[in-house]
Structure 1
Amino acid sequence: MSAMCDRKLDDIERTLEEAKIKTTWLNPVTQIIRFADEEPEYKCLELNKDLLETLESGQSLVIRGDKNDNAVLCTSSKTYDLKDTETSNSLLIMQSLTYHKDIKHLQGDDIDRTVEIKIVDKLVHNYLEPRLIQPHLKIIQELLSKRLFKGPERESEDYTEDLYSLDKLLTTVQASEEEILNELFALNAIEYKGYWRLLEFEYHFRIFSFITTYIEQESVPFDEIDKEACCAAHAEIVPKEIFEQVFKYYTDLNYEKPGLGYYILKKDKVCRMVAESILKAARKFNLNEFLPVWQESVIPGLETNLNQLTGIVIIAKDSSPPAIWYFPERDLPEDVNLRLQRLFQERSSWPMDDIVPYMQRLATAQLPVNALLAKYARMSTKEGIKYFTGRHAK
């Protein structure tokens, strides 16, 4: 019997006798539960299958968020909100407990009863429940917009305030590393001297024009672009590390011609960039005038179509005359109510196909776009087309 135990075997046997329980019915080990004098400072975290497999594979889980943020839990590729959840049953957290399977071999009249002390480290009434969410990534654009990159000649060598390395973004943004890198790519960001930067639009378009002009002047097939030759042609104008990163945003490696190092032009993205350069300069554009201007502005051989502009323009074909104007999704608030408020300020009634690209970022597996719109907007149908208006619209 443990020296820590102040209950005697006689006491235990007397208790069992009063309960009319025969000792022969029981395994010969009595465990006495005691609470620790001091509870440790930790929280219990529920793990779903994916999170458990992440830990079992040797990967890490990281909790992110400063004092003013709700904490989130991140794997290398996903982000989970952490909700403090109460449980109706109290949980006893113990380092060890003897189970039936461990002592079932101890049977027989010649086996003496023993007493073991088991310490409860913590009594738990709640735990952290992780829920998969869409991370709040707009902050990346806000942070990087503080210091737009306008070219190396306009940079101060020793001024790094408001600049963000990947490590700094990981400690600031409540998202996984993969989600942060994907957002940086979606923003056409570049990494320069260890910091991630957003290019000023004019500087970005200047490098973009070098690429498209080279392709046009050299009559380069769209699937046989030589990156090294293109970079070398502009080496005295744009640093190679910057040029190559902008180049990759508009090309893909041609895997059908291995060993040659050829790249394929991303035709839709090139057309989209040209359209942005035209539309940013004007509040609204006559749609019938814009379409030929846009087509004439791209490299000969490319075909423009309005589907290439999903999420960056509003097209009002029913206005007189039909109009198009620049309205990028990435500039809208992340809050659902604020985003819808902004959308309905810009356009009182939205066809479903037009509004979906502006809501997709906020959708989750639990609340897809259709459910979001049903919850926060009013739907009507006209000539078989679904339209959405504000909840309180007249």
Structure 2
Amino acid sequence: MSSNSFTVKFPAKSKGLNFSQAAATKFKLVELTPELAKIVEAKDENALKNVTIRGKANDEAVLCTRTTTYCLRTVQLSNSFLVVTGEDAHSASSEDHIIRDTISELIELVPAVPKLERLGGLLKKNKYRADDEDGSDEDTMEAQQRPRRRFTYNQVRGLVQASDVELERGLREKRVLQMDGYLQPLPSTELTKIISYILTLIPKHSWSPAGVPLAKLTSELLYEYEVPKTITRQVCEWFGLVEGDEGKEKWVIDQEKVVTEVGLGVLQKLCAEAKPEKDILTEWKDLVGDQFESIVRMDLLEGNFLDITDPQYASRAGPRFKYFPASGLPAVPAERFKDLFLTKTSWKGPELTPFLQDIAVEKKERDRLLMKFTRTSTDASGIVWYSSRAKY
């Protein structure tokens, strides 16, 4: 028997195998991941409702569960499959088997990085401004000439190709507020101010980072600094855990997250010029205060700075860094590597990796991208360097 032949066995009473005379039906064969297989086998209607295809009509399709985003890849099969059912209205006999479709390809689901870059474009014109709170600028010429389409969470959920968990995490990481049902990014300058107010109040009232009284904190920020309570609460949820009964809630601070945010504020002032590491650390420690200065270290800011130290003077002057965020780089791998190698012609492995983590979910995928877009060389001291395969 040849490798392409096959045998179909039917019950003895079966009389035929026929193609359907009804309107053609197209089937797709999907290879389920373990996560999806459990959802389907459990017949959990709520979980199945969260399995959706997301994005605009011209996007490459992705499938999302509540927690994971998958890209859909078509794999050609060496042998075709027949989709066979029982009789239909056009069959000659009640014992006929009807071929509904022939399948020669399989849809494979591969874990993918959520495509959150669209958030920036959708919400760009909707940044929170303190003067919006009282509507004081609504009648100004600037406001009238500033058309804005405001987005709710559900509207963004349908447009952004990410699972619910990934989207919610992305909104937190991009510091997006929910105000009166609409999404509004909180500008970094405003967030830095709020964090600095909080870091002032904590030692003033001898509050423990393990349990800051939320009601007192929101009241203090409202009356002393005019920060709305709803904003304070959301900022606290970004940087820790709010727990306890209503009216007695405590904010358990994620101290590294708070310290990191202050460090980003220091770095963001270094877009045009570099600064010695020791000066960055000194300013950073001064801003977080004695209670948190022991947490300060440069690795908290990986993926947000560029080392432009001149090797000739490194031993004398120490490292010099400037602001260079991965979030500002293209999401398409080819364009990402082009920007990276136009910025620096050679990168050490530990320097390069933080700028790839948001475009490759797994180490295996990052290694594949490195093989595709880079060349490696090892210097006399054993350090591995990456340079571009392409000429830019």
TM-score bucket (shorter structure)? 0.7 to 0.9
Bigger Cα displacement from structure 2, 261-270 vs 343-352: 261-270
1:336 and 1:210 mapped to 2: Cα distance? 39
**Cα displacement (A) at 1:357:** 0.8
Indicate if the aligned counterparts of 1:31 and 1:115 stay in contact, CA closer than 8 A.
no
Which residue matches 2:80? 90
- Check conservation: 1:62, 1:74, Cα contact below 8 A: yes
Cα deviation for residue 154 of structure 1 reads: 7.0
Contact 2:241/2:252 (8 A) holds in 1: yes
Shift of residue 233 of structure 1?
0.8
For 1:376 and 1:90, how far apart are their aligned partners in 2? 36
Query: Per-residue CA shift, 1:88-139, capped at 9, x if unaligned?
Result: 4333223338xxxxxxxxxxxxxxxx97122222333334332222222221
- RMSD between superposed Cα atoms in Å: 2.9
Letter in 2 for 1:372: L
Most deviating of 26-35 and 139-148: 26-35
**Aligned CA distance change for structure 1 residues 374 and 154 (closer, same or farther; 3 Å):** farther
CA contact (8 A) 1:223 1:254 kept: no
C-alpha separation in 2, matches of 1:132 and 1:293: 41
SS of the equivalent of 2:358 reads helix
Residue aligned with 2:364, SS: coil
Note the C-alpha offset of 1:334.
0.9
Residues 263 and 130 of structure 1: CA distance in aligned 2, closer, same or farther (over 3 Å) = same
State, as a whole percentage, how many aligned pairs show the same letter. Answer: 24
Secondary structure of 2:345 counterpart: coil
Residue aligned with 1:263, SS:
strand
Residue 153 of structure 1 is matched in structure 2 by: 133
- Corresponding residue to 2:322 among 321, 325, 343: 325
- Give the SS at the match of 1:291: helix
User: Structure 1 residues 347, 95: closer, same or farther in 2, change over 3 A?
Assistant: same
Given the alignment of the two structures, is residue 292 of structure 1 paired with residue 282 of structure 2, yes or no? yes
What is the deviation of 1:260? 6.9
1:239 to 216, 228, 234: 228
Tell me how far apart the structure 1 counterparts of residues 346 and 243 of structure 2 sit (CA, whole Å).
43
Q: Distance between the aligned counterparts of 2:150 and 2:25, measured in 1?
A: 36
User: SS in structure 1 opposite 2:15?
Assistant: strand
Shift of 1:343: 1.4
Do the aligned residues in 1 keep the contact of 2:330 with 2:336 (CA within 8 Å)? Answer: yes
- 8 A Cα contact 2:19 2:99, kept in partner: yes
Deviations 1:53-101 (A, max 9, x none): 222332222112322111111111112222334334333223338xxxx
Q: How does 1:1-394 map to 2 (within 5 A)?
A: 28-48=12-32, 49-57=34-42, 58=44, 59-60=47-48, 61-96=51-86, 116-151=95-130, 152-153=132-133, 161-236=148-223, 237-253=226-242, 261-282=249-270, 283=272, 284-302=274-292, 303=294, 304-319=296-311, 320=313, 321=317, 322-365=319-362, 367-382=364-379, 383-392=381-390
Over 3 Å counting, the alpha-carbon distance change for 1:230 and 1:390 in structure 2 is same
- CA distance, structure 2, for counterparts of residue 296 and residue 337 of structure 1: 40
Q: Hey, what's the Cα distance between the residues in 2 that align with 1:288 and 1:239? A: 36
**C-alpha spacing 1:369/1:119, structure 2 compared with 1 (3 Å):** closer
Q: CA deviation at 1:212?
A: 1.4
Q: Distance in 2 between matches of 1:354 and 1:115?
A: 69
Q: For 2:288 and 2:56, how far apart are their aligned partners in 1?
A: 46
Q: Contact 1:223/1:265 (CA < 8 Å) preserved in 2?
A: yes
What letter matches 2:133 in structure 1? E
Deviation, structure 1 residue 198: 1.1
- How far apart are the structure 2 equivalents of 1:348 and 1:366? 23
Bigger radius of gyration among the two: 1
Tell me the matched-pair count: 350
Structure 1 residues 248 and 115: CA distance shift in structure 2, 3 A:
closer
1:30-66 residue CA offsets vs partner (Å, 9 max, x unmatched): 2312222234444313132332222233222211232
8 A contact 1:252–1:263 mirrored in 2: yes
Distance 1:138 1:154 in 2: 31
TM value normalised by structure 1: 0.79
Structure 1 Cα separation of the partners of residues 81 and 63 of structure 2: 22
Q: Taking structure 1 as reference, are residues 40 and 207 closer, same or farther at Cα in structure 2, changes over 3 Å only?
A: farther
Unaligned runs of 5+ residues in structure 1 are 1-25, 98-113
The whole-number CA distance in structure 2 between the counterparts of 1:87 and 1:188 is 45
How far apart in 2 are the matches of 1:366 and 1:354?
Answer: 15
Q: CA deviation at 1:27?
A: 5.7
Structure 2 length normalisation: TM-score?
0.80
- The question of whether the paired residues in 2 share the 8 Å contact of 1:216 and 1:300 is answered with no
Distance 1:160 1:42 in 2: 44
Match of 2:6 in 1: none
Question: Could you tell which deviates more after superposition, 36-45 or 197-206?
Answer: 36-45
User: What are the Cα deviations for residues 304-362 of structure 1, in whole angstroms up to 9, with x where unaligned?
Assistant: 21112111112344454431111111111111111111112222222211111111122
Using the alignment, how far apart are the partners of 1:248 and 1:63 within structure 2?
29
User: Which amino acid in 2 is paired with 1:206?
Assistant: K
